Amino acid sequence: MEVVCNKCGYVINRDKYINGQLIEEYKNIYGTHCSNCKKIVEPLKKYSLNSEKELDIEILRNEMREKLKKKIQGEKKCQ
């Protein structure tokens, strides 16, 4: 992956070709410092590591809601 500094235009590329296959050594997930001008290069896109966790939490919440609904409805029928 090529990372281009917005300020000085310096290109950071640490990819290698091994046996004809491209091996990406670096992905700009969190941002990086330009080795030429020392400024921060922001990532191109936001990675959804937190949103995946939030999705898992929301799935668990929905499962608990359904279990509680069934439990509450079951208690009402018995009374």
What is the rounded distance in angstroms from the CA atom of residue 79 to the CA atom of residue 72? 11
What pLDDT does 60 receive?
A: 92
What is the rounded distance in angstroms from the CA atom of residue 46 to the CA atom of residue 20? 30
What pLDDT does 76 receive?
A: 66
What pLDDT does 17 receive?
A: 79
Tens of pLDDT along the chain (79 residues) come to 778 888 898 888 777 778 888 777 677 777 888 888 988 888 866 655 566 777 888 899 999 999 999 888 887 665 5
Helices (H) and strands (E) in the chain, counts: 1, 6
For the chain, the domains span: 1-46, 48-79
What pLDDT does 50 receive?
A: 64
What pLDDT does 66 receive?
A: 92
